[in-house]
A and B are shown apart, each in its own frame.
Chain A
Amino acid sequence: MADNEKNLIIKCQAGDYDAFEVLVRKYSDKAFSVAFSVMGNQHDAADMTQEAFIKVFRNIKKFNFGSSFGTWLYRIVKNTCIDELRKKKHRNYVSMDTGFEGEDGEYVLQIADESADIQELLEREETGRLLQEALMSLGEKHRSVLILADIKGYDYLEIARMLELPVGTVKSRISRAREKLAVILKNEGTFGQ
Chain B
Amino acid sequence: MINGLLDAEKEAIVLSHLENCDECRSHYNDMMSIRKALGRINVKAPEGLADDIMRAVRESAVIETEVKPKRMPRPVYIASYAVAACLVLALGFIFFDNLFLTGNTMKESAEMFANEEQGMADDTQRNSPGSNYITATESEADLAPSPVPAPDKAFGPESVEPGFTADMLMDRGFEFNTSAFAGSNSITVNDGGTSLEEAYGYEGSQDILYVTANYNTGDIAAILLKEFGIRATEQGDNYVLADIPSETVTALEQRLDLVASTQISDELKSYTIRILSLSGE
Within B177-211, which residues are at the interface with A (CB < 8 Å)?
A: 192-195, 198, 204, 206, 209-210
For window 154-171 of chain A, which residues contact chain B by CB distance below 8 Å? 164-165
B residues 134-154 with Cβ under 8 Å of A? 134-135, 138, 140, 143-146, 148-151, 154
B52 touches A50 (CB 8 A): yes
- Determine whether A151 belongs to the interface, using a CB cutoff of 8 Å to chain B: yes
CB <8 Å contact, A21 and B60:
no
Q: How far is the CB of A18 from chain B (nearest CB, A)?
A: 10
Q: What is the CB-to-nearest-CB distance from B170 to chain A, in angstroms, rounded to a whole number?
A: 15
Kindly identify, within residues 120 to 172 of chain B, every residue whose CB is under 8 Å from any CB belonging to chain A.
132-135, 138, 140, 143-146, 148-151, 154
Q: Which residues of B contact A59 (CB under 8 A)?
A: 132, 206, 209-210, 213
Complex-state Cα separation, A185 to B233, whole angstroms: 30
Q: Within 8 Å of chain B (Cβ to Cβ): is A80?
A: yes
Cα distance, A64 to B151, chains bound together (Å):
8
Q: Which listed segment binds A: B30-38, B94-102, B106-114, B245-253?
A: B30-38
Q: Report Cα–Cα, A152/B39, bound state, in Å.
A: 8
**Min C-beta distance of A84 to chain B, whole Å:** 9
For residue A116, CB closer than 8 A to chain B, the reply is no
A100 B206 Cβ-Cβ under 8 A: no
The interface residues of chain A lying within 8 Å CB-to-CB of B210 are 59, 62
Within A129-158, the residues touching B (CB, 8 Å) are: 131, 146-147, 149-153
**What does DSSP make chain A's interface, helix, strand, loop or mixed?**
helix
- Residue from the list A32, A58, A149 in contact with B206, Cβ < 8 A: A58
Q: Measured between alpha carbons, how far is A82 from B279 in the docked complex, in Å?
A: 17
Residue ID in chain A nearest B149 by CB atoms:
A62
Whether B43 and A79, one on each chain, are in contact in the complex, defined by CB atoms closer than 8 angstroms, is no
A67 to B40, CA, bound (A): 34
CB atoms of B53 and A28 under 8 A apart: yes
Could you tell me if A150 and B35 are in contact, using CB atoms closer than 8 angstroms? yes
In the complex, the answer to whether A150 meets B39 with C-beta atoms within 8 Å is yes
Contacts of A118 in B (CB 8 A): 30, 33-34
Contact of B39 among A55, A86, A153, A165 (CB under 8 A): A153
Q: If the complex has contacts A15-B138, A58-B134, are A28 and B148 also in contact, measured as CB distance less than 8 A?
A: no
Question: A44-72 vs B: 1/0 string, CB under 8 Å?
Answer: 00100110011101111111111100001
Contact of B148 among A32, A49, A62, A152 (CB under 8 A): A62
- A119-B33, A182-B34 are contacts. A101–B145 as well, Cβ < 8 Å? no
CA distance A67 to B213 in the complex (A): 14
Q: Which 4 A-B pairs have the closest CB atoms?
A: A66-B281, A150-B38, A32-B45, A122-B37
Mark A residues whose CB is within 8 Å of B: 10, 13-15, 17, 20-21, 24-25, 28-29, 32-33, 36, 42, 46, 49-50, 53-55, 57-67, 72, 75-76, 78-80, 82-83, 86-87, 90, 100-103, 118-119, 122-123, 127-128, 131, 146-147, 149-153, 164-165, 174-175, 178-179, 181-182, 185
Given contacts A62-B151, A175-B2, 12 further A-B contacts (CB under 8 A): A46-B46, A49-B45, A54-B60, A57-B57, A61-B132, A64-B149, A79-B192, A79-B212, A80-B213, A83-B192, A122-B33, A151-B43
